[in-house]
Chain A
């Protein structure tokens, strides 16, 4: 299977009263078109649209999702199968991408109000989405809307807006085309008989409302561990429904641009043979954890792996899923490297993970999510700032008289991402 990503580099977003378009690297948006699209859903009472550019004194919070605008221009399927497009298999043909642009959804969110994106200042270093040109869509639900319906409405509205913007790039000639090819097992074994066989085991957050991930429209908590073509993931098969403790949750943007997959493709045929992408869940029942990790190990063995990279999503009890995956895969004689993050306390002295095992001896960390940061006030806030003291990583009275907010970096969207999406390091 072969996928081409046609990147249209976006250098700015502007508003217009006329038709929305992409021209000369500028995404020009008529906010009224966005509003009427969002308000098609009778569960959404109001919608406002803003622009947040890198370097501007802007804070977006709470962040529901971040989505990359895309359009399928050649080949089967469409963007976000199971939600916006039908469930045809994606991952082949050509998809155009508005590279550098993102849709950020905000507004009152079900239950917890999570996630901060600062476009400038010290907080901006901690979120990868301070570097994208963001179209911020703020939505409020109709009164009395049930929680699951509320989450669904916000999620789908974000996808619709991203697809609307992506569509503007349909006839635009991309600035660059990236080509990715993934062979079947027999072909790749013939081509690279001497290279180590490496698979990616991706753990998907699947713990319920605001903690869910979807594959081709299916709730990941209702799935058995399975094999997906990494090109399908790169082409929108996996989307996010979670944003709580947003430092280590994968917004949809991160699934589309999964760095583990990209790095494995870079190394493929050179230092390793990238043989497969296994997706598994992180459910709240012990039997599910046991079953899913059994299947991860079974499928890694079935793919004839010499090694796997395991990425976690979230923390706490999913640390057990992570350790179960590691132990069971290592027990098959397959080497593992795990990517996680740490909750080691504000002083960094506590145990980093809730579970551990000697076989988990190769660990990459996204950082300590309990690390405290002071975020200075921004001139503009899109969303609702008054929730900042109740989010994970926040605390009572954490805004001082000058408007400085003291929070743990777990409140910042993508700060300790566990798929290598964020490049902040201690070096």
Chain B
């Protein structure tokens, strides 16, 4: 999906846990997620904590979307 949407001319950020697979399949902008069963959440945290990490991930993804890249790039999230 990432590649097809990019082929249509729209930049894509792939948020995923297993970033090596994202690299293998050819995503250009990659943001690491939390874990495979809960990519955008963390059941160990309270609701406030979850909201915080989710905001960090989304803001990193938005930043990645407007960043020029020459090669496949992983944008680490700062929590």
Contact = CB atoms under 8 A, between A and B. Distances in A.
A284 B36 CA distance: 5
Interface stretch (B2-10, B14-22, B53-61, B63-71): B14-22
Contact of A285 (B20, B24, B35): B35
Contacts of A356: 24
Interface string A312-334: 00000101100110000000000
B36 A323 contact: no
B21 A354 contact: yes
A239 to B, nearest CB: 22
A54 B18 CA distance: 42
A398 interface: no
Contacts of B21: 317, 319-320, 354-355
B24 A317 contact: no
A323 B35 CA distance: 18
Contacts of A285: 17, 34-36
B41 to A, nearest CB: 13
Contacts of A138: none
A220 to B, nearest CB: 16
A374 to B, nearest CB: 33
B34 to A, nearest CB: 8
Interface string A7-51: 000000000000000000000000000000000000000000000
Contact of B35 (A284, A320, A324, A355): A284
A324 B37 CA distance: 20
Contacts of B35: 284-285
Nearest to B39: A284
Q: Interface range on chain A: under 10, 10 to 19, 20 to 34, or 35 or more? A: 10 to 19
Given A208-B37, A317-B36, A286 B24 contact: no
A286 B21 CA distance: 11
Interface in A53-97: none
B37 A320 contact: no
Contacts of A320: 18, 20-21
B24 A355 contact: yes
Contacts of A289: 18
Interface string B21-45: 1001000000010111100000000
A135 B21 CA distance: 42
Nearest to A319: B21
A371 interface: no
Interface in A259-296: 284-286, 289
A212 to B, nearest CB: 13
A286 B19 contact: yes
A284 B21 CA distance: 13
B17, B32, B34: most-surrounded residue (chain A CB, <10 A)? B17
Contact of B17 (A208, A286, A323, A355): A286
B37 A284 contact: yes
A207 interface: yes
Contacts of B36: 207, 284-285, 317
Interface in A344-362: 354-356
Nearest to B17: A286
Contacts of B20: 320, 323-324, 355
Contact of B18 (A207, A208, A286): A286
Nearest to B38: A284
A323 B21 CA distance: 10
Contacts of A354: 18, 21
Contacts of B19: 286
Contacts of B24: 355-356
A208 B34 CA distance: 15
A284 B43 CA distance: 14
B48 to A, nearest CB: 22
Contacts of A323: 20
A319 B18 CA distance: 10
B37 A286 contact: no
B30 to A, nearest CB: 11
A284 B38 CA distance: 9
Contacts of B18: 286, 289, 317, 320, 354-355
15 contacts: A207-B36, A284-B17, A284-B37, A285-B35, A286-B18, A286-B19, A286-B32, A317-B36, A320-B18, A320-B21, A323-B20, A355-B18, A355-B20, A355-B24, A356-B24
Interface of B: 17-21, 24, 32, 34-37
Given A284-B36, A285-B17, A286-B17, 11 more contacts: A208-B37, A284-B35, A284-B37, A285-B35, A285-B36, A286-B18, A289-B18, A317-B36, A319-B21, A320-B20, A320-B21
List 10 A-B pairs, minimum CB-CB distance, nearest first: A284-B36, A284-B35, A320-B18, A285-B35, A355-B21, A317-B18, A320-B20, A355-B24, A317-B36, A354-B21
